[in-house]
Structure 1
Amino acid sequence: MVEETYNHLVSLEGFRNLSLHDVHVEPLQTLAHSEVYRVRLDSLSTSVILKKSGAADVAGLAERERQFYRHIAPLLPSWLVPECLLIVEGDQTGRLFIKDLSGSHRSACSPAPTRMECRCFVEALATLHGLTGRHSRIQSEWIKVAADLPAGTIQQRLSFFQLVLGSFIAMIHERVDRAVESFLTDLSDLEHQIQRMGAQADVIVHGDAHFGNALFSPEQRACLIDWGMPMIGFGEIDLAHALALNLPPNLRREWEQEMIGVYLSQMAACGSPVEEAAFYDRYRLAVLYSFISPVIWWCSGVPEPQWWSALTNSLDAARDLGLLK
Structure 2
Amino acid sequence: MSLEVIGWVRSDFGLDLTTLEAVTHGADQHARLWLARAANGTRYAVKLSGGGTAAGLAVTAYLAEQGVPGIPAPLRTRDGRLWGERDGCRLTVVPWVSDQRALDGPMTEAHWRSYGEVLASVHAVPVTDELARLLPRGGSAYPRIVAATRAMARRLRGPERSDASAADLAAIWSAAADRVATLTHAVERLAAELRDRPGPAVVCHGDPHLGNLLLGPEGRVWLIDWDDAVLAPPECDLMFVIGGVLAFAPISAEQQEAVLAGYGTADVDRTRLAWFLAIRALDDLSDWTRQALDPGADEAERAFAGRIVRGLVSSDGLVTLADVALRDLDRR
TM-score, normalization by structure 1? 0.73
- 1:95 positional shift: 0.9
Task: Give the whole-Å Cα distance in 2 for the aligned partners of 1:250 and 1:145.
Answer: 32
1:123 equivalenced with 2:99 (yes/no): no
Task: Give the whole-Å Cα distance in 2 for the aligned partners of 1:90 and 1:179.
Answer: 44
1:294 equivalenced with 2:281 (yes/no): yes
Which aligned pairs between 1:149-168 and structure 2 lie closer than 5 A?
152-167=136-151
Which aligned pairs between 1:196-235 and structure 2 lie closer than 5 A?
196-198=196-198, 200-235=199-234
SS in structure 2 of the partner of residue 209 of structure 1: coil
Report what 1:75 is aligned to.
Answer: 65
Q: Which runs of 5+ in 1 are unaligned?
A: 147-151, 266-273
Task: Give the whole-Å Cα distance in 1 for the aligned partners of 2:216 and 2:151.
Answer: 43
% identical aligned pairs: 17
Is residue 26–residue 37 contact of structure 1 (8 Å, CA) maintained in 2? yes
- 1:85 positional shift: 1.6
Which aligned pairs between 1:1-325 and structure 2 lie closer than 5 A?
1=1, 2-9=3-10, 12=13, 15=15, 18=16, 23-29=18-24, 31-41=28-38, 43-54=39-50, 57=51, 60-61=52-53, 63-70=54-61, 72-77=62-67, 79-86=69-76, 87-90=82-85, 92-102=88-98, 106-110=100-104, 113=107, 115-131=109-125, 136=126, 138-146=127-135, 152-167=136-151, 174-176=174-176, 178=178, 181-182=181-182, 184-198=184-198, 200-242=199-241, 243-246=243-246, 251-257=251-257, 259-265=259-265, 279-281=267-269, 283-300=270-287, 301-302=290-291, 303-311=305-313, 312-313=317-318, 315-316=320-321, 319=324, 322-323=328-329
- 1:190 positional shift: 3.0
| Cα deviation code 1:53-104 (max 9, x no counterpart) | 13xx2xx24x23333345x2443326321132233332721111011113xx
Is residue 107–residue 216 contact of structure 1 (8 Å, CA) maintained in 2? yes
- Paired amino acid for 1:175: A
Q: Which runs of 5+ in 2 are unaligned?
A: 77-81, 157-171, 292-304
SS in structure 2 of the partner of residue 322 of structure 1: helix
Is residue 122–residue 239 contact of structure 1 (8 Å, CA) maintained in 2? no
Task: Give the whole-Å Cα distance in 2 for the aligned partners of 1:156 and 1:177.
Answer: 24
SS in structure 2 of the partner of residue 226 of structure 1: coil
Change (3 A) 1:179 1:211: closer
- 1:175 positional shift: 1.2
- 1:50 positional shift: 0.3
- Paired amino acid for 2:94: I
What's the C-alpha RMSD, in Å, of the aligned pairs? 3.2
SS in structure 1 of the partner of residue 219 of structure 2: coil
- Paired amino acid for 2:264: L
Task: Give the whole-Å Cα distance in 2 for the aligned partners of 1:182 and 1:317.
Answer: 10
Change (3 A) 1:315 1:45: same
Is residue 169–residue 184 contact of structure 1 (8 Å, CA) maintained in 2? no
Between the two proteins, the alignment pairs up a number of residues equal to 286
